[in-house]
Amino acid sequence: MKLVSVKSAFFAGALAWALLASGCSFNRAWNAAGKTSAPANDIQGRWDGVWLSEVNDHTGKLRCLVTKQAEGKYHARYHAQYRKIFSFGYTVTLEGKQTGGSFVFSGDADLGWYAGGIYHYEGHANNNYFFSTYRSQYDHGTFQMSRLE
């Protein structure tokens, strides 16, 4: 019985350390990105806003760092909060194209079984506004963010 509690404590500690480390890494990248201007007519840069689940009305703060990888491909590095205590970070590759002044995109990310599995994203962004829907097996909702300079 004691072995189970030691394993549980180890797992909980490892998980807490991983979440803390990913948050610190995101904050360093976030602060560094704030020292440069976002390119004009591109979605790269810092975004700040909220996420909202349409299944259970959970909501929280959302930040995102977008970096260009290749023509039509971007990495969106999200950092979400829930109830000001819990946070979670992950990266999604968004692929799309410029259409009428907006970048229209979609992408998928496997967040693991503990977070709901595979999430699919679809949305659009321009110089100032980022909107995306998300959908997984158990949840769906929206991301709404504005660009930070």
Domain boundaries, the chain: 2-148
Q: Tokens representing 29?
A: 């990248």
Which of 25-29, 86-90, 114-118 shows the lowest mean pLDDT across its residues?
Answer: 25-29
What CATH number has the domain spanning 2-148?
2.40.128.120
Distance CA 67, CA 16 (A): 27
Asked if 145 and 62 count as a contact pair (C-beta separation under 8 A), the reply is yes
Q: Kindly state the average pLDDT of the residues 59-68.
A: 95
Q: How distant is the alpha carbon of residue 66 from its chain centre?
A: 10
pLDDT tens for each residue of 3-39 = 444 444 333 443 443 444 445 788 887 887 777 777 7
Asked if 47 and 137 count as a contact pair (C-beta separation under 8 A), the reply is no
